[in-house]
Amino acid sequence: METLNSITPELIRIVMAVVGGVVIVFGNALVMGYLERKLAGHFQRRPGPMEVGFHGILQLLIDGVKLMGKQLVVPAQADKKLFMLAPMLSFVPVFLPLLVIPFSDKMQAFDLDVGLLFILAVAAINVLAILVGGWGSNNKYSLFGAFRSVAQNVAYEIPMLISLLAIVFMTNTFSLKGIVEAQNIWFVVLQPVAFLIYLVCMVAETNRAPFDLPEAESELTAGFHTEYSGMGFSLFMMAEYTNMFICCSIATVFFLGGTSGIPLPYFEYTGAIWFVAKVYLLMFFLVWIRWTYPRTRFDQLMNLCWKYLIPFSLVNLLITVVVVKL
């Protein structure tokens, strides 16, 4: 009986965390799907979706129903197992990092000591999913997209991690909660270079324009998800949006002070409002640049990473280390 009592709160905690994670994944995909189309519309001097519901607010629900109703076509020559596995492989891991993100003081499922490493490790599985999807489709364009994606994501993970390491050196912890608590001044003020490098890497990691080479429509039709239809496609889309959410959350935790903001009642819970507001501000930024810039070429993208971002982030790390030790 005593053991049951001690287990139950933990069990409830796990169940709540999982349910919360799923809610965030789907909710975020709905909100972002709508926001992206609406914002794109306004950037392009048109209203965007207007028909379903007030200002098209239910459009994404309708689209979801449509996508679920679509047949999932598997190309004749495709590797069927890999082809079916890829969307799931892409979708499942993106949900795990949500468990360690501190939405507010008390809204965090697990405060791992190695929270940052956990997120980066799990997020890397997404690359594998894209490779599997591109390979399994047995389509040259898909394979192109997959190869580009692997090269790009692997390259950009390096400056991303190095720029975040500068913060870790300042706070002496990998725990996301510890990093939030260590921020008396937001680190975006103390580490502007790291923040800028992180922003660029974030765009590349989430495969968004101007770095959306894995799915560059004008070159590769749709890149790695050329052959996917229906739910296969929408799982990839949801993974992309969740990936954006996680990357923006990390930026919020590391540079924008996490939950800090004007105090509200019950701040240990309501701090999440500020957190989410900051995340969506960054997401707005991502949408904004997507609809503004043309796409870079692949060699230019890689040059940017290897020739500029990695050296700069290393120098930044070195300076940080020296300053911290002094």
Partner 1 sequence: MMNVDVLQDERHHRFVLNMGPQHPSTHGVLRVLLEMEGEYALELQPVLGYGHRCHEKIAEYKPAKNFMPNTARMDYLGALIYNHGYAMLLERACGIEVPRRAEYIRVIVDELNRIQSHLLWLGAYLLDLGAFTPIMYSFDDREEILDILEDITGSRLTYCYMRVGGVCKDIDDKFVSRTRAFIDRLRSRYSIYEELVNGNVILQKRLIDVGDYTPEICARYGVTGPLLRGTGVEYDLRKAESYSVYSEFDFEIPTEQRGDSWASYNVRYREIEQSLRIIEQALDKLPEGDFIAPKVPKKLKIPAGDYNSSVEAPRGELSYYLVSDGSDMPYRLKIRTPSYCNLSVLPEMCKGMMIADVVACMGALDLVIPEIDR
Q: At what angle do helices 267-290 and 2-43 cross, to 10 degrees?
A: 30
Residue 215 phi/psi, 5-degree rounding, is -125, 30
Q: Which of 2, 218, 262, 265 binds partner 1 (CB under 8 A)?
A: 218
284 near partner 1, judged by CB under 8 A = no
Compute the distance between CA of residue 182 and CA of residue 194 in angstroms, rounded to an integer: 17
44 near partner 1, judged by CB under 8 A = yes
292 near partner 1, judged by CB under 8 A = yes
In whole angstroms, how close is the CB of 244 to partner 1 at the nearest point? 17
In whole angstroms, how close is the CB of 217 to partner 1 at the nearest point? 5
Of 109, 101, 139, whose CA–CA distance to 243 is shortest? 101
296 near partner 1, judged by CB under 8 A = yes
DSSP 239-288: HHHHHHHHHHHHHHHHHS-TT-SS--SSHHHHHHHHHHHHHHHHHHHHHH
216 near partner 1, judged by CB under 8 A = yes
Nearer to partner 1, 148 or 278 (CB): 148
Compute the distance between CA of residue 61 and CA of residue 271 in angstroms, rounded to an integer: 29
Q: What is the dihedral of CA 195, 202, 168, 264, to 10 degrees?
A: 70
Count how many residues are written for the chain: 326
In whole angstroms, how close is the CB of 198 to partner 1 at the nearest point? 20
Contacts for 62 with CB less than 8 Å, ≥ 6 apart: 52
140 near partner 1, judged by CB under 8 A = yes
99 near partner 1, judged by CB under 8 A = no
Compute the distance between CA of residue 317 and CA of residue 326 in angstroms, rounded to an integer: 14
Q: Where does this chain touch partner 1 (CB under 8 A) — which range of 19-27, 105-113, 230-238, 298-306?
A: 298-306
285 near partner 1, judged by CB under 8 A = no
Q: Where does this chain touch partner 1 (CB under 8 A) — which range of 5-13, 65-73, 95-103, 216-224?
A: 216-224
In whole angstroms, how close is the CB of 75 to partner 1 at the nearest point? 15
Q: Which residues bind partner 1 (CB under 8 A)?
A: 40, 43-46, 140-141, 144, 209-210, 212, 216-221, 290-300
